[in-house]
Amino acid sequence: MTRRDRSSLLPLLLLVSLLLAPIWSGCATMGATDASSGKAKNVILLIGDGMGPSHFGAAWLYSNRVLKKDLQMVQVMNAGRTAYLVNDTADAIVTESAAAAGQIATGRKMTARAISMAADGKTPVTTVMEMVKVKGLGTGLVTTSGITDATPAAFAAHVPHRSDEASVAEQELKLGVDVLMGGRKQFFLPEVSAGKRKDGRNLLDEARAAGYAVVGDAEALKAAQGGKILGLFNMGNMVYEIDRKATMEPSLAEMTAKTLDVLSRNPKGFFAMIEGGRIDHAAHRNDAAGTILDTLAFDEAVGVAREFARKNPDTLVIVTADHETAGMALIGHSKDSKEYIGIDLAAVQKVTASFEVIAEDLGKSPTPQKVQQVVKEYLGIQITEDEAKTVANDTIRKLDPANYSYPYLHSLAFVLRPYLRVGWGSQTHTASPLWAFGMGPGSARLTGLLHNTQLFDIMKTAME
Ligand SMILES: [Zn+2]
């Protein structure tokens, strides 16, 4: 066939494809009926804070190759739809959790650090949670970070700056969110009770008076009765999954299970936002093992939501992230590899503590010997004297303090690159594209490229 013949066929091919297009799209729509279109009684939104493609990829590798099981997130992807997701804001290319969560919660572009406020900084924008609350549905917010931190706050509060967590605590209770679980109890307590409230109020007492079961550890959470729970498990953030073993703090999956159990008693349905809040914190510190284990803990919570949705098919489950944190990269080479070998999962498995714990042990000005000893103790890796000096001199942070701000940890992560084969572009958030995937009624719209503001309408429309 000559080039001319082929080009003369083009209009015909175009015509045929145009005629067939409704049939193709009809097939796609048919496939999407019952399971993924229609109305949802319940919506469970799960946000992996900072969970970008490599955070997910590292957790997927670790789960399949070390734990010998697939991720729950993959099961949700396979049962439903997946969209690419972008997340720029009204005033920035790189977002942070307040603007990102605010955009998901309200459908409007937000400015940095404001909690669900219009660009004027003083006009509250109604959130999806407030909308369903008015209709009498159940509501829940759960995180491993602070319950007053930006992501949960953006669904139930309105303050000009995310740092005003004392006001966020007050507003979350005032809205009457049925289930609130996470850390940062300090914003519910007055200064006389070791809290950070300057107004002298004890919000735990106020919550009890308003009918909440107030609990502080895993056992009490299990035993908690009633339709309203305030679970605050740490004065600060809840501990990283890698450090959690010995504590009395519940896992994110346990908190999720309890939340769904309580909220599903509401005959009208519910909206719950579940956040893996510390994936972001571990990534900020360039902590590979901490990032992976917190992503896996988030994945278990996704599994709880997925199981609930299988038993209650009128439930829309959406899994997404607010932004990518730290430009995590699964790099190729060890010191002497000739071919790409990738992340050392066995080395990750041997790590026994988060970089937060390691930083505490390193102290203010560690000697190279101290660095070697600490790395050996927590990672089982014998770094060289030169490498230890790079950490002790904090070389990486000195080169680019704006993008690497945690003392010693970025230099440590750089030194560990050929051992763990995990690299980091910064300590900051990045503009990396993400995904939103989900299953259940309304999930048919999770395709193509979405802006995170569109998730609001997908959830709202599904629940109307
Ligand atoms: Zn962050």
Tokens, residue 270: 């519910």
Per-residue pLDDT band for 22 (boundaries 50, 70, 90) equals: very low
The pLDDT score that the predictor gives to residue 24 is 40
Give distance in angstroms: CA of 154 to centre of ligand 1: 15
1 CB-near residues (< 8 Å, 6+ apart): none
Q: What percent of the chain has pLDDT over 90?
A: 90
The pLDDT score that the predictor gives to residue 31 is 40
Is the CA virtual torsion 128, 134, 136, 139 positive or negative?
A: positive
Query: What are the pLDDT digits (tens) for 253-304?
Result: 999 999 999 999 999 999 999 999 999 999 999 999 999 999 999 999 999 9
pTM across the whole model: 0.92
Taking the C-alpha atoms of residue 258 and residue 213, their distance in angstroms, rounded to an integer, is 13
Give distance in angstroms: CA of 114 to centre of ligand 1: 15
Residue 7 has pLDDT above 60, yes or no: no
The pLDDT score that the predictor gives to residue 122 is 86
Give distance in angstroms: CA of 429 to centre of ligand 1: 6
Residue 6 has pLDDT above 50, yes or no: no
Give distance in angstroms: CA of 333 to centre of ligand 1: 28
Give distance in angstroms: CA of 237 to centre of ligand 1: 13
Query: What are the pLDDT digits (tens) for 50-98?
Result: 999 999 999 999 999 999 999 999 999 999 999 999 999 999 999 999 9
First to last CA, the chain: 56
Taking the C-alpha atoms of residue 107 and residue 452, their distance in angstroms, rounded to an integer, is 8
Give distance in angstroms: CA of 287 to centre of ligand 1: 13
User: How wide is the angle at C-alpha 339 spanned by C-alphas 338 and 345, nearest 5°?
Assistant: 110
Per-residue pLDDT band for 36 (boundaries 50, 70, 90) equals: confident
Considering only CA atoms, which of 460, 446, 431 is closest in space to residue 100? Answer: 431
Query: What are the pLDDT digits (tens) for 216-241?
Result: 999 999 999 999 999 999 999 999 99
Give distance in angstroms: CA of 198 to centre of ligand 1: 26
- The SS3 assignment for 87 reads coil
Taking the C-alpha atoms of residue 455 and residue 117, their distance in angstroms, rounded to an integer, is 18
**151 neighbors 322 (Cβ within 8 angstroms):** yes
Give the range among 3-7, 63-67, 131-135 with minimum mean pLDDT: 3-7
The pLDDT score that the predictor gives to residue 364 is 95
- The SS3 assignment for 274 reads strand
The pLDDT score that the predictor gives to residue 19 is 46
Taking the C-alpha atoms of residue 184 and residue 195, their distance in angstroms, rounded to an integer, is 9
Tokens, residue 271: 């909206």
Give distance in angstroms: CA of 282 to centre of ligand 1: 9
Is the CA virtual torsion 295, 300, 305, 306 positive or negative?
A: positive
Give distance in angstroms: CA of 430 to centre of ligand 1: 10
Give distance in angstroms: CA of 188 to centre of ligand 1: 23
Packing angle of the helix pair 252-263, 288-311 (nearest 10 deg)? 20
Q: What percent of the chain has pLDDT over 70?
A: 92
The pLDDT score that the predictor gives to residue 10 is 47
Is the CA virtual torsion 109, 114, 120, 125 positive or negative?
A: positive
Host H or E run for residue 47: strand 42-48
**226 neighbors 218 (Cβ within 8 angstroms):** no
DSSP letter for each residue of 321-389: ES-EETTEEE----SS-SS-----HHHHHH--S-HHHHHHHH-SS--HHHHHHHHHHHH-----HHHHH
Query: What are the pLDDT digits (tens) for 149-166?
Result: 999 999 999 999 999 999
Q: What is the DSSP letter of 202?
A: -
Give distance in angstroms: CA of 97 to centre of ligand 1: 7
> For the residues 306-313, what does the mean pLDDT come to?
97
The residues annotated with a catalytic role in the active site are 97
Which residues partner with 42 through β-bridges? 270, 315
> For the residues 384-399, what does the mean pLDDT come to?
97
Give distance in angstroms: CA of 205 to centre of ligand 1: 31
Average pLDDT, the chain: 93
- Taken as a whole, the chain contains a residue count of 464
The pLDDT score that the predictor gives to residue 35 is 65
